A and B are shown apart, each in its own frame.
Chain A
């Protein structure tokens, strides 16, 4: 009985490991190609290790695309967006969880209803709006929309509602107001939800593609996702090595962040149900 169980467990592990190898092989192969001189101007047959090891593809990529610039741009915009969206979501969440004021319910529904309006169906009017404000080809179109992070408001409200009112009363008794409650009580006590929302927002903004593509024309101001895709489209399609080198370089930071924070990321996604 015990042995049958051990054997079954072993079989499951073997199946899972084989599947994992199958799924992760494309990643490995991309890394191999990026270090393979044979891949520079052709697609060599599959191999577990480079045919002719080299760092030439990386040097070629370095000349063809200004990755550090894209990284810097994306890091700045992504960080600003994450901080802005999560902070304002916390503010709204606090008001909706603990506030008493007329119109609360209506305003809450007014906010959450936005979830039913996909961003993609507003592309043209938003483009026109920013064009008329003269803000196209700047980072403002990427940032301004982040002042209302509706999913965040929902999760923030849910979490802040669980903070006992007695703690908040104690601040009032000390003569503090709602702002002091927010900064000295609500924010420190909401670290887990702030972390969750920040992780989700950071990944989402890092990967966003369509809106930067529409709003930004100058490649010096562009985000890494669009920059890499444009580079990919401009190269001769047989330059597999340099293209894979760029793919690997642009995937590295998020993968490292993931490996460090994997426990929290996996938890965040499982809890919220939000993919990225």
Chain B
């Protein structure tokens, strides 16, 4: 066989792999890369509705408008505040996981794992509907519970009073996400070899020593992972706040629950101003990109590409 024949055969062998990829690659170009490029492009133009004519290149003016606009800054601030408050699911999940883990593997543990994870699975719209009743000022479940606890009538408007709305929204967020945090913490706790604890017991370590010198250092990766993914999820928070405000992107009450994404939605579809909303999208993209990069580095998503090479 000549070298030319061999080269052709080799080439044919390589070419048969591309059909496996071609459709997914085409979808990525068409639905991810080109749209992302377009978002960047629109953000530099003065456009109200794309395709309706009147597109003037204005450079970075949309960004300047946004960063000088109190409404956008408020949405940005709301999002950061809600994201930070939402991170309380990490210690709560850790606390639950430690308790559940101490039960030892068995039926009781399996039962608790399902029970505490259950709220996560019905995180549909139904949960948000239920919490509209739970967080009600008059007769809501939370106020009933607090009144019972403190032996006096409490009627806080958890989703209608601007002073408490962020706390109310965080309670909902915790309820929806705590199971996930518990699950990740538990998986991580159970990955710690029990020999470590046994050995430290022989050395006379106290319960606190064990947490301080074994559990905490070995849980660091889990905490960082939950922290970063928690921030990413928090930054693009939308559905629960949108539905809580009766399908409005205004972020009721008084705009205290308008997230960045709700702001973008408002200026994309309710009051179309596509240049502005695209600039907002780019800012959201930059924030998420930053935290995803950290996540990729931490979880090693791209690390084992050596063997791919």
Tell me the A residues contacting B by CB distance below 8 Å. 9, 12-13, 15-16, 19-20, 23-27, 29-30, 33, 43-46, 88-89, 91-92, 94-96, 99-102, 104-105, 107-112, 114-118, 120-129, 131-132, 144-145, 147-150, 153-154, 157-158, 161, 177-178, 182, 203, 206-207, 209-210, 214, 224-225, 228-230, 232-233, 237, 240, 243-244, 246-248, 250-251, 254-255, 258-259, 262, 265-266, 269-270, 273, 275-276
Nearest CB in chain B: distance from A269 CB, A: 6
Q: Are B289 and A120 in contact (CB under 8 A)?
A: no
Which A residues touch B31, using CB under 8 A? 122, 126, 129, 144-145, 148
A259 vs B48: C-alpha distance when bound (angstroms): 48
A50 to chain B, nearest CB (A): 14
A27 to B128, CA, bound (A): 11
- Residues in B266-303 with C-beta less than 8 Å from chain A: 268-269, 274, 277-278, 281-282, 284-285, 288-289, 292-293, 296, 299, 301-302
What per-residue 1/0 map shows which CB atoms of B7-37 lie under 8 Å from chain A? 0000001111110110111111011111110
In contact, A276 and B133 (Cβ under 8 angstroms): no
**A120 in contact with B281 (CB, 8 Å):** yes
**In contact, A244 and B35 (Cβ under 8 angstroms):** no
Q: List 15 A-B contacts (CB under 8 A).
A: A26-B175, A107-B21, A124-B42, A124-B278, A127-B268, A128-B50, A148-B25, A154-B301, A207-B123, A244-B129, A262-B117, A266-B117, A266-B183, A270-B187, A275-B233
Quick check: A153 and B268 within 8 Å, CB to CB? no
Report chain A residues within 8 Å CB of B242: 209, 229
Q: How far is the CA of A162 from the CA of B292 in the complex (A)?
A: 27
A-chain residues with CB within 8 Å of residue B180 when the two chains form the complex: 269, 275
Binding site secondary structure of chain B:
helix
Q: Which residues of B contact A129 (CB under 8 A)?
A: 30-31, 34-35
Indicate if B157 sits at the interface (CB-CB under 8 A): no
Is the CB–CB distance between B126 and A228 below 8 Å? yes
CA distance in complex: A146, B80 (Å)? 30
CB of B80, distance to nearest CB on chain A (Å):
16
Query: In the complex, which of the residues B20, B120, B268 contacts A99, with contact meaning CB atoms closer than 8 Å?
Result: B20
CA–CA, A101 and B50, complex, Å: 40
B 79-119 to A, binary, CB cutoff 8 A, 1 in contact else 0: 00000000000000000100110110000100011111111
A116-B296 contact, Cβ under 8 Å, with A99-B20, A273-B225: yes
CB proximity to A under 8 Å, residues B130-167: 130-134, 136, 138-141, 144
Could you tell me the distance between the alpha carbons of A109 and B25 in the complex, rounded to whole angstroms? 12
Q: Are A108 and B42 in contact, with the CB atoms below 8 A? A: no
Say yes or no: is B265 at the interface (Cβ < 8 Å to chain A): yes
Interface contact A105-B309, CB-CB below 8 Å: yes
Number of interface residues of B (CB under 8 A): 106
Taking the nearest CB of chain A, how far is it from the CB of B32, in angstroms? 5
State whether B136 touches A43 (Cβ < 8 A).
yes
Chain B positions 211-268 with a Cβ under 8 Å from a chain A Cβ: 225, 229, 232-233, 236, 238-239, 242-243, 246-248, 261, 264-265, 268
Please report the number of residue pairs spanning A and B whose Cβ atoms sit closer than 8 angstroms. 297
Q: Is the CB of B121 within 8 A of A254?
A: yes
Q: Which of B14, B23, B115, B131 contacts A24 (CB 8 A)?
A: B115
User: What is the interface of chain B, defined by CB distance below 8 A to chain A?
Assistant: 13-18, 20-21, 23-28, 30-36, 38-39, 42, 50-51, 96, 99-100, 102-103, 108, 112-134, 136, 138-141, 144, 175, 177-178, 180, 183-184, 186-187, 225, 229, 232-233, 236, 238-239, 242-243, 246-248, 261, 264-265, 268-269, 274, 277-278, 281-282, 284-285, 288-289, 292-293, 296, 299, 301-302, 304-305, 307-309
Contact B35 A126 (CB under 8 A): yes
B20 in contact with A116 (CB, 8 Å): no
Given A121-B285, A148-B24, A270-B184, A46 contacting B102 (CB threshold 8 A): no
Cβ of B186 to closest chain A Cβ, rounded Å: 8
A20–B129 alpha-carbon span in the complex (Å) = 20
Nearest 7 A-B pairs (CB), nearest first?
Answer: A125-B35, A125-B38, A147-B27, A251-B126, A99-B17, A121-B285, A95-B20
Alpha-carbon separation in the docked complex, A124 to B266 (Å): 11
Whether A214 lies near B247 (C-beta < 8 A) is: no
CB distance from A205 to the nearest CB of B (A): 12
Give Cα distance in the complex from A185 to B302, angstroms. 26
Given contacts A30-B130, A94-B20, A250-B124, contact A117 B289 (CB under 8 A): yes
Known contacts A127-B268, A244-B133, A120 near B247 by CB under 8 Å: no
Cβ contact of B125, chosen from A126, A153, A229, cutoff 8 A = A229
Cβ–Cβ contact A114 & B21, under 8 A: no
Say yes or no: A251 contacts B282, CB within 8 Å. Answer: no
Which listed residue, B132, B139, B281, touches A124 by the CB 8 Å rule?
B281
Q: Out of A117, A123, A206, which one reaches B32, CB within 8 Å?
A: A117
State the CA gap A57–B285 with chains docked (Å).
43
Do B100 and A16 have beta carbons less than 8 Å apart? yes
- CB <8 Å contact, A116 and B134: no
Find the A residue at minimum CB distance from B299. Answer: A273
CB contacts (< 8 Å) of A243 on chain B: these are: 129, 132
How close is B229's CB to chain A, nearest CB, in angstroms? 8
Contact residues in A for B20 (Cβ distance below 8 Å): 91-92, 94-95, 99, 178, 182
Q: B150 to nearest A CB, angstroms?
A: 16
